[in-house]
Structure 1
Amino acid sequence: MIDKKNLRSANVTEGVEKTPARSLFYAMGYTKEELDRPLIGVISAHSEVVPGHIHLDKIAEAVKAGVRMAGGTPIEIPSIGVCDGIAMGHEGMRYSLPSRELIADSVESMTIAHALDGLVLVPNCDKIVPGMIMGASRINIPTVVCSGGPMLAGNVAGEEVSLSKTFEAVGAYKAGIIDEAQLLDVEENSCPGCGSCAGMYTANSMNCLSEALGIALPGNGTIPAISSRRTQLAKRAGMQIMEMVEKDIKIRDIINPVSIRNALACDMALGCSSNSVLHLLAIANESGIPLDLNMFNEMSEKVPNLCHLAPAGDTHMQDLNAAGGIPAVQNELAKLNLLDLDALTVTGQSVGENIKGITNRNPDTIKPVETPFSKTGGIAILFGNIAQEGCVVKRSAVAKEMLEHKGPARVFDSEEEAIDAIYKGSIVDGDVVVIRYEGPKGGPGMREMLNPTSALAGMKLDKTVALITDGRFSGASRGASIGHVCPEAAAGGNIALIQEGDMIEINIPAYSINVDVSDEELTKRKEAWQPKEPNVKHGWLKRYSMLVDSAAKGAIMKD
């Protein structure tokens, strides 16, 4: 039995002094009986502009039903959310990554201001998942993540497809590989309904990693959005938060160095989006846990890559779910002692207890550890004179022939310049496209470069052309797409000093990336370098650009 007087919500519901606060609750229709129970915030990112969020009103209602069944009072609170696919390729993408900070700030603000006892976070897409987790970690109260689930894959000409197909189709059309009718077929049939886009893009990566961290129930990352099991999961999440409140199990009791390492292992096995690096760094920072880029490579050397979901392969989230989901992946990793099975989870049980009896139902979707896609993990961090602080590549989505590459730099100071050159056919086999001044500070906002990478893939250049940027890539990008170059150009990093035609050498197995220019020449160029005029000179993005830290630290806000 929970003693209400020991809860945070007593600050707004208990005692004569709280008469005004109770009066305002009564104005909303709450009853005395409801105020005598724990108050549970249900933070929902429902909106009518994000396909991953269009149905979250129903998920939130199911969560609230679970809270009530377990003796709590649910209070729904809205959150913003940017659809990266809709924001892609124009100035709207500058707001995507920065919105993570707004979401974290709003979760912190609303939870503390209204003295909530626990949280069920109901996100689904990209920055919304880590943003909510970051906010909850700051205030450190009982928390369960319950996402809206992945979209089913679409079908084009008998082929299972997802959002990445639409971006690549634009490049194929521009190159004359497909006609207008085929382009329209892709447009109308790639995204069949609600849910986070069906590949192992950033949204699904973070929903799976929430499960791997232990802060979401098993199935959170993979049960399809339209499944009745997703509604059942939401009800169980609502019930489970009440157990956590009763036992006073806080989110930072679960997110700790052990669970972060478990999440890193699953990241490598799944071949998650390169954005997972930014978000895990930021979540670790909010949770007071040391984490740096070297730890990603350390884990990558140990953990085999077991999954090739789109865009790395032709399987999708529904296939991963049918194969056993994240518990089946964890069970494979446990065979090599790559997980700490004693780590606590929101089920109230350990990882080991959660995966007991789970089997891999499809070894084609989840490769056994004995026969992985590769012996190394899906993410690699490269270092060199271009990126002294590191840069990130989704190694599992790189063609074998591009793991090592040397070619001339084709230099562009914005995404728009690069995409124009690609569409005009001026990028040829062997080139290394360099897109700079798109970092957290310089962008500002570190735009995703899905348009350029997809154009290259659609034009059949993804196996001959590399792309590097101080911006970042969508989880839907494939090919030798190397992002998060640090220090970024706007901070005077060496990527700002690369000149047209400089030879760039990339060696992903050796974790290295370098421009073939002497230190003396780089020093001379640095002396002549002048900062570029800011792209944004007003609004809150200007403040963001002044306060944001390096991508090597997760693009967090400086203290």
Structure 2
Amino acid sequence: MLSTPKHRLGSRLAFSSRRSLSSSTPVRNVNGDAASAGSQKPVMNRYSRTITQPKTQGASQAMLYATEGVNSDDDFKKAMIGVASVWYEGNPCNRHLLALGQRVKKSITDAGMIGYQFGTVGVSDGISMGTSGMSYSLQSRDLIADQVETAAGGHWLDGLAVIPGCDKNMPGVLIALGRLNRPGLMVYGGTIKPGSCEGAPQLDVVSAFQSYGKYLQDGRTETAERERYNTVRHACPGPGACGGMYTANTMASAAEALGMTLPGDSSFPAEYKEKWDECDSVGPALRNLVEKNILPRDIMTRTAFENAMVLTMILGGSTNAVLHLIAIAHSVGIDLTIDDFQSVSDRVPFIADLKPSGKYVMEDVYKIGGIPVVLHYLLKNKLIDGNTLTVTGKTLGENLERWVHQHGELSMTSQDVIRPLEQPIKSTGHLRILKGNLAPGGAVAKITGKEGLEFTGKARTFDTEDAFVEAVEKGEMKKGEKTVVVLRYLGPKGGPGMPEMLKPTSLIIGAGLSLDVACLTDGRFSGGSHGFCIGHITPEAQVGGPIALVKDGDIIHVDAVKNIIELRVSEEELEKRRKGWKPHPLKVNQGTLYKYVKMVSDASRGCITDA
């Protein structure tokens, strides 16, 4: 039995205590006349009736008659539901999302509503990584949010099913749902299967990134080239998002903890029957949300975000979760800060042996019962709150109780993907919020303990990613020499778009330098990065942050226990350098990235664009 039985009443308590649009505002009947807010028949067309009922909106109705969804006058009484597929067939994370959306749309139709499918842009981190195309990655999060908000707002949709796949997709669609605050839920496209070749199991896209560093380490021989090629050729065997606890799986898991997905959503692999079955269940779930007018802001509460942060720490999730959860919280009017993450990290251990630092992938989490059994384990041990409302209309605790009744609890004897709380990989969280004279506005470190808990070394500065890659290719990074690589002018404005440094960290790991080289940046790290990594350094170099003043040979000290990041240069010397510093010209002067540079906030505020 669960340790907090209060959750069994939670859905009713949470629902009855909130302000409901259906009870606080007058509704209209199908003729456009005022109707009693307490009428027995639920209002399904709460938003769409703005264009389907008034005689003054005849042109709107004429155009809707021409759509697939409207076949009779009675159809205008139905809920009109948007089905947003973040679809792009040139990326394994997203190539199947059009088909998933069609399955979801059918379930919506079968549930007596009208489904209208539309697409949004999606940028593949894995494909753009290491190139200037990576500047569009984080920017795509806000573009996705804008597109979903625009489609739903412009067409008066009554609800939404959003279907993301790649890293920035999940926060993008959740931000849109938060802004709109209309009934909606998320269906994650699912994780990819692991690849394998020549006896090397559990390959994934990070294996492909690291293969080049290993090729360099192995002397660029014919054998090394064959191994590199085979790894690249077999790392990604089909559709689905990158397989480890990288950003996509981190954010999908967080969304489930937030209550914005159906149970099990985040751990059903893309090609498994359960993912397609989940699509078939979306229609009834959305109908319930629309009938009861359960809204994203009823679900994504402060407590729900605390649950999501706890799960992220437990799983060893991506540093990007800090950026994204802060931005999602902003969309629902909740002030989440980097300090909140440190507070959770101080009290929650890291217990999941998942890639990138571990050996297992998300498919293995599915095999041991999925994210719900992990959440149930955390609830039993009072690390999360089971009384938060979810898109099922029930509380998180009620959902978890039902799941373990059907699937069983998390076993601590038959699996080692998730360790017992009393035998953690690290006794505190792996995400550390560092502050000091190098990052007075904060920085986010990903320290699992395997790479040590502190690092002191000589700075080696690079203003471009390519310059660092060239230095590694020339063998300038040496084993036994403690080096702190400083990658700068890569922040939200300087990048632009805060590109991820997976290529550099993969070169470091592949070349066997993980204990000799720490990597600091005002950009980001992929969820696939591991080693001694500190990103999100704020203020960034582009606006004159201290990271812009670092010189080769400076001593940098990082302590991930005391949460300090220190440039060991006197304040007098720093002031002298500050006076001599001149800002770099922006890398863009027009187009979508230029607009992004002008609007984006700093990393510690989630890189939001609507503040």
Output the TM-score relative to the length of structure 2.
Answer: 0.89
Does structure 1 residue 538 correspond to structure 2 residue 590? yes
1:276 is aligned to 321
Which residue number corresponds to residue 29 of structure 2? none
Which amino acid in structure 1 is aligned with residue 318 of structure 2?
S
Residue pairs, 1:234-245, within 5 angstroms: 234-245=279-290
Name the SS for the 2:455 alignment partner: strand
> What residue number does 2:460 align with?
410
**What's 1:478 paired with?**
530
Of 172-181 and 517-526, the range deviating more from structure 2: 172-181
Greater shift after overlay, 515-524 or 310-319?
515-524
Matched, 1:399 2:399: no
Give the superposition deviation at 1:508. 1.0
User: Contact between 2:142 and 2:172, CA under 8 Å: does it hold in 1?
Assistant: yes
Query: Which amino acid in 1 is paired with 2:450?
Result: A
Which of the residues 136, 146, 167 maps onto 1:95? 136
Partner of 1:263: 308
Number of the residue aligned with 2:189:
148
Cα pair distance change 1:5/1:226, threshold 3 Å: closer
1:125 aligned to 2:166? yes
- Contact kept, 8 Å, 1:201 with 1:273, in 2: the verdict is yes
Shift of 1:204: 1.0
Give runs of aligned pairs for residues 279-428 of structure 1, distance below 5 A.
Answer: 279-356=324-401, 357=404, 358-361=408-411, 362-396=414-448, 399-401=450-452, 403-428=453-478
Residue 206 of structure 2 is matched in structure 1 by: 164
Q: Can you list the C-alpha shifts for 1:31-73, whole angstroms capped at 9, x where unaligned? A: 1243331001111112211211111122112211221222111
Counterparts of 2:44 and 2:269, CA distance in 1: 40
Q: Secondary structure at the match of 1:383?
A: strand
- Does the CA-based 8 Å contact 2:443-2:536 persist in structure 1? yes
Q: For the pair shown, which has the larger CA radius of gyration, 1 or 2?
A: 2
Mapped contact 1:399–1:463 kept (Cα < 8 A): no
For 1:447, give the aligned amino acid. Answer: P
Paired residue for 1:519? 571
CA displacement 1:237-274 (0-9 Å, x = unmatched):
23211100000000111001010101011110011111
2:518 maps to 466
Deviation at residue 106 of structure 1 after TM alignment: 1.0
Structure 2 gaps of 5+ residues are: 1-39
User: Match of 2:424, SS?
Assistant: coil
Offset at residue 450 of structure 1 (A): 0.7
- Distance in 2, matches of 1:5 and 1:390, equals 46
Amino acid at match of 1:376: T
Matched, 1:437 2:489: yes
1:28 matched to 2:67: yes
Distance 1:541 1:343, change over 3 A: same
How big is the shift at 1:423?
1.8
In the alignment, structure 1 residue 454 sits paired with structure 2 residue 506: yes
Superposed CA RMSD: 1.4
Per-residue CA deviation, residues 173-192 of structure 1 (Å, 9 max, x unaligned), is: 12226611111110111111
Q: Does residue 73 of structure 1 match 2:114?
A: yes
Residue of structure 2 in register with 1:38 after alignment: 79
Query: Contact conserved, 1:311 with 1:476, CA < 8 A, in 2?
Result: yes
TM-aligned CA deviation for residue 335 of structure 1: 3.2
- 3-state SS of 2:562 partner: coil
For the 8 Å contact 1:120–1:238, the answer to whether it is kept is: no
CA distance in 2, matches of 1:509, 1:486: 20
Unaligned runs of 5+ in 1: none
**Aligned residue for 2:180?**
139
SS at match of 2:264: coil
Deviation at 1:101, TM superposition (A): 1.1
One-letter identity of the residue aligned with 1:285: H
Checking the alignment, whether the CA contact within 8 Å between 1:405 and 1:507 is kept in structure 2 is yes
Aligned residue pairs total 557
| CA displacement at 1:3 relative to structure 2 | 4.4
Q: Which moved more, 1:489-498 or 1:387-396?
A: 387-396
Give 1:208 deviation, angstroms. Answer: 0.9
TM-score when normalising by structure 1 = 0.97
Q: How much does 1:489 deviate?
A: 0.5
Aligned identity (percent) is: 40
Question: Is structure 2 residue 532 aligned with structure 1 residue 490?
Answer: no
